[in-house]
Amino acid sequence: MNLKFRAKDYLSDDSFESAEYEYIGDQNQGWEIKRNGSPYLNLGPGYIPLKTISCGVCSTDIDRRFLPFPLPQIIGHEVLAEGLEENQGKQFVVEINDTYEARGDKNPDVFCIEGIPTHSPERRVLGIDRLPGGFGPYILAPVHAAINLEGVSPKAAVLMEPFAAALQAIIASPPKSGDHVAVLGPRRLGSLVLAALSSFRKSNNANFRITAITRHDHLIKLSKEMGADDCIDLRITKVEDLKSKFDIVYDTTSTTSGFETALQISKREVHLKTTNGQTMAGLTHLTELVVDELSILPYSTENSNFHWEKETRSNKNVFVFSGVSETIKRELKQKFQVFEGESNTGEVILSSDTFSNKMPRFDFVVVSKPEEIGLAIRPNPSHENSLVRPRGAILVDTSQTENWKIDYQLVGEFFKQGKEIHSSRCGDFHLAISLLKDNPEITKSLEDNLISHRFPSDKLEEAYLKAKDPSSVKVVVDFQ
């Protein structure tokens, strides 16, 4: 097959530029992608061509220039598409991770074997990392990432990727009975987190209260429609009056001020759902923290056993920065294989024979300084590998937080009080579809309330600008 078309590339200066693309190949032999007549990307077998029907604009698209992936690129990853050739007439939603498992490759890497295929270092990401995205008329989707859409209307289906991501936050940080939780920034992703919380509560007959926190009149009404029990307007209520009020705060603001507010108003946990690629509250690489779905926890014996709820593994290999207290080091050595040093030492250890044929990451890392949190997440600017395994944890030695510089005092006090930061990224489309089928009233709320603006594909730049406007909620670009 040969598909030739023009599309708008996104550039590092936050602008768009028209480019000519060509997809040459097939599912069995692989694909060559050309851009303006020159080689752009070669893909092996396991991809099917799809024609874009519509694609949503999200915060990741708006902040794409800050992410550590090459540009230019056709961005857009909230895709509803239709099949070509033998799949003609079928509609698909597309999971965004291009992995061994998604392509049906029979020779998976250790990340797939460990049950975390979406964290494989070799993965590409539709519309985010190399693989051309949904703001073009055609995409190439890994065969198992293209999910046949049945039982959900196309209007709600274009929201499937962000709804699944929102639901992942609830799966990773589920409210406990009697909790009072808050969604900070209930606009695009935040509204979907509200819907996910509401549908999760109903499907599980759970008992917790949901509050939306915003600064905009139109989002107060929207939040109620999407399942919030209460709304708080920060133009009227001071952040200081909400200190430690909410058991879990789901931060979807993608702003530094929002993250700092979340740290102040949470009683137990902040779940960081989206970031802007910049330093927040003194912490670096928080975007990569979300990409790797890592957690930052105060050190304790209990937290040294941390793993995601559905994982059956146990922690074995630990890296400890040199400045961590000797008491913690002695305690860890009684239970784990402990490696010690600075970040460059950790990288050398992970590339040694000790980790041959194993996941080249430590199960968790213990830090003594706030700067070491960023180094644990991304120790080397020349690559995107963390010291700690995806869905693992960075534990903070809180006995030394009083010595942290003023820029880090907010997070230092946060961890000193025993509070935690968790994060999540993509979600399970099959689970999301099932939940929407079980909760038709939530599906109707999505259809009626969330998409505020639609633009034809030749107005992509206008759509992008409108998505930046606080008066918008979800902007969708239509190709048909």
Asked whether residue 111 is domain-assigned, the answer is yes
pLDDT for the residue numbered 285: 94
Of the three residues 379, 403, 423, the one that is the final residue of a domain is: 423
User: At 283, phi and psi to the nearest 5?
Assistant: -90, 135
CATH of the domain at 133: 3.90.180.10
Asked whether residue 308 is domain-assigned, the answer is yes
CATH of the domain at 323: 3.40.50
Full domain range(s) for residue 322: 294-423
Distance CA(268)–CA(247), nearest Å, equals 5
Asked whether residue 256 is domain-assigned, the answer is no
Distance CA(232)–CA(223), nearest Å, equals 10
User: At 264, phi and psi to the nearest 5?
Assistant: -80, -35
Asked whether residue 457 is domain-assigned, the answer is no
Of the three residues 401, 423, 445, the one that is the final residue of a domain is: 423
What is the band of 294 on the pLDDT scale with cuts at 50, 70, 90?
very high
Helix (H), strand (E), coil (C) string for 251-278: ECCCCHHHHHHHHHHEEEEEEECCCCCC
Distance CA(82)–CA(53), nearest Å, equals 7
What DSSP designation does 386 have? Answer: -
Average of per-residue pLDDT across 141-154 = 88
User: At 461, phi and psi to the nearest 5?
Assistant: -65, -35
Asked whether residue 209 is domain-assigned, the answer is no
What is the band of 357 on the pLDDT scale with cuts at 50, 70, 90?
confident
CA distances from 380 to 284, 348, 364, 395 (A): 13, 12, 18, 20
Asked whether residue 12 is domain-assigned, the answer is yes
Asked whether residue 180 is domain-assigned, the answer is no
Among 55, 27, 46, which Cα is nearest to 459's? 55
pLDDT for the residue numbered 310: 82
Q: What is the pLDDT of residues 418-474, one digit of tens each?
A: 999 999 998 989 889 888 888 888 888 888 888 999 999 999 999 999 999 988 889
Average of per-residue pLDDT across 368-373 = 95
Q: Is 6 exposed, middle or buried (0-12, 13-18, 19+ CB in 10 A)?
A: exposed
Of the three residues 372, 396, 423, the one that is the final residue of a domain is: 423
Distance CA(127)–CA(174), nearest Å, equals 29
Contact in structure between 219 and 186 (CB atoms under 8 Å): yes
Average of per-residue pLDDT across 91-113 = 92
49 pLDDT exceeds 80? yes
Average of per-residue pLDDT across 353-357 = 91
Average of per-residue pLDDT across 342-359 = 95
Among 364, 340, 362, which Cα is nearest to 351's? 362
Among 22, 16, 17, 26, which Cα is nearest to 37's? 22
Cβ neighbours of residue 455 closer than 8 Å, sequence gap 6 or more: 462, 463, 466, 475, 476, 477, 478
**Cα 224 → chain centroid:** 25
Q: Is 186 exposed, middle or buried (0-12, 13-18, 19+ CB in 10 A)?
A: buried
Q: DSSP per residue over 446-459, as a string?
A: IIIIIEEEEEEGGG
pLDDT for the residue numbered 329: 97
Which pair of structure tokens corresponds to residue 223? 């939040």
Distance CA(242)–CA(232), nearest Å, equals 10
Q: What is the pLDDT of residues 375-407, one digit of tens each?
A: 999 999 988 899 999 999 999 999 988 888 888
Distance CA(52)–CA(62), nearest Å, equals 20
* Beta strand segments in 101-222, E: 124-125, 138-142, 146-148, 180-184, 209-214
User: At 271, phi and psi to the nearest 5?
Assistant: -105, 110
Average of per-residue pLDDT across 225-240 = 95
Which pair of structure tokens corresponds to residue 431? 């689970």
What is the band of 243 on the pLDDT scale with cuts at 50, 70, 90?
very high
Pairing of strands 91-94, 78-83: antiparallel
Distance CA(349)–CA(362), nearest Å, equals 10
pLDDT for the residue numbered 311: 86
- Quickly list H helices, 188-243: 188-203, 217-225
- Number of domains comprising the chain: 2
Asked whether residue 304 is domain-assigned, the answer is yes
Which pair of structure tokens corresponds to residue 74? 């056709």
Among 264, 290, 266, 262, which Cα is nearest to 276's? 290
Q: What is the pLDDT of residues 172-199, one digit of tens each?
A: 999 999 999 999 999 889 999 999 999 9
